[in-house]
Amino acid sequence: MIKNNLFLRALKGETVDRPPVWMMRQAGRYLPEFMQIKAKYDFFTRCRTPELASEITVQPIRRYGMDAAILFSDILVIPQAMNIDVEMKVGVGPWLPEPIRDPKDLDRVIVPDIDESLGYVMDAIKMTKEKLNDEIPLIGFAGSPWTILCYCVEGQGSKNFAMAKEFCFTQPDAAHQLLQKITDTTIAYLKEKVRAGVNAVQVFDSWGGMLSPVDYQEFSWKYIQQIVDALKDETHVIAFGKGCWFALDTMAKSGASALGIDWTCSARNARYLTGGNITLQGNFDPSRLLSPPAEIKKMVRQMIDEFGKDRYIVNLGHGILPNIPVENAGAFVEAVKEYPNTSG
């Protein structure tokens, strides 16, 4: 039985004294203790070594005491498992030396055996659960099929993922074939994570906002819906589409337990577009954590007032930035824990 179940209660829509708080990318790059590990081990070594991944996962919990932990990993372990090479290049970020560009490239893409290819993630979950000792829930995650496709086709990060869109619009059959393979792999992966012990899963559609509303339904949402359908009876599913406010009404009817909201959508609009009956998560602008701590606390309290304390999980509107001072991240978490105290 998890001692602090505030996060799980919020996902169920129960009445709470204050909303729970965690931060996307909370395990990582803004923490000095993480940087010490980073100096010794390359990125995917950190992901693939359960002792390192579990240690990185619990670092922010020790420092700040969030209401949920999220496993340290990366969305690109999925294509790696599918026989698509992914490297992490310094100064470049993700780098795929052999991107998927035409139908024959799909011949080498497999739907893998999860235990065989991603067993190290399950080991990290079990090790993390031991360290957390049922104090707080653990979240597992995956990228949306569309977001994974963007990297697989583009071969690296991009401002507009024009090549990925060209692939979808000029070779739609191949695109849908790849999206389905990613979806099947993701469902198997997340189900295995649930068996390993995670208490909720989040699907990150970081590049969903690159698509028009019509194309979003065609190339992204219908695959996320498959994932929600496959997981919703086994665990809580949080769907987060960055820049996808236009799909919030559809998302709200999906069976997901919660929806992530980015900072470009107001609390009022988010509640309106989702019908007011689903838990929302978000949506503090990560760059706003560069404001003075007192201002951060004031803005967080205002954000909670606007969303309402129930059916709400305090979070950022995207991942925390590497240059955020540790005391500013602390002010963000403290403001939630002090709520509704309005001093300061």
- Confirm or deny that 343 is annotated as ligand binding: no
The rounded distance, in Å, linking the Cα atoms of 191 and 186 is 8
How far is Cα 163 from Cα 174, in angstroms, rounded to an integer?
14
3-17: average pLDDT: 98
With 0-12 / 13-18 / 19 or more C-beta atoms within 10 angstroms meaning exposed / middle / buried, residue 194 is: middle
pLDDT at 128 over 50: yes
Asked whether residue 29 is marked as a ligand-binding residue, the answer is yes
Reading the block at residue 163, the tokens are 């090549």
Phi/psi of residue 176, each to 5°?
-65, -35
Please report which confidence band the pLDDT of residue 90 belongs to, taking 50, 70 and 90 as the band edges: confident
Peptide bond into 283 cis (omega under 30): yes
Q: Residue 9 annotated as binding?
A: no
Full-prediction pTM beyond 0.85?
yes
Rg, C-alpha atoms of the chain: 19
Work out the average pLDDT over 253-280.
98
Q: Which residue has the tokens 């010794």?
A: 40
Residue 272 in marked binding region: no
Tens digit of pLDDT for each residue in 18-74? 999 999 999 999 999 999 999 999 999 999 999 999 999 999 999 999 999 999 999
301 is in an annotated binding site: no
- Strands 87-89 and 93-95 come out as antiparallel
Higher pLDDT pick, 298 / 90: 298
Cα 55 to Cα 31: distance, rounded to the nearest angstrom: 13
In DSSP notation, 91-144 reads TTEEE-SS---SGGGGGG-----HHHHHHHHHHHHHHHHHHHTTSS-EEEEEE-
CATH class of the domain at 6-338: alpha beta
User: pLDDT by residue (tens digit) across 204-262?
Assistant: 999 999 999 999 999 999 999 999 999 999 999 999 999 999 999 999 999 999 999 99
Residue 343 has pLDDT above 90, yes or no: no
135-147 per-position pLDDT tens digit? 999 999 999 999 9
pLDDT, position 109: 98
**What is the model's pLDDT at position 342?**
56
Binned at pLDDT 50, 70 and 90, residue 344 comes out as very low
Every domain of the chain and the residues it spans? 6-338
44 is in an annotated binding site: yes
pLDDT at 102 over 50: yes
Ligand-binding annotation for 206, yes or no, is yes
- Segment holding 230, helix H or strand E: helix 222-231
Q: Give the Cα separation of 48 and 34 in Å (integer).
A: 16
* Residue corresponding to tokens 């993700």: 94
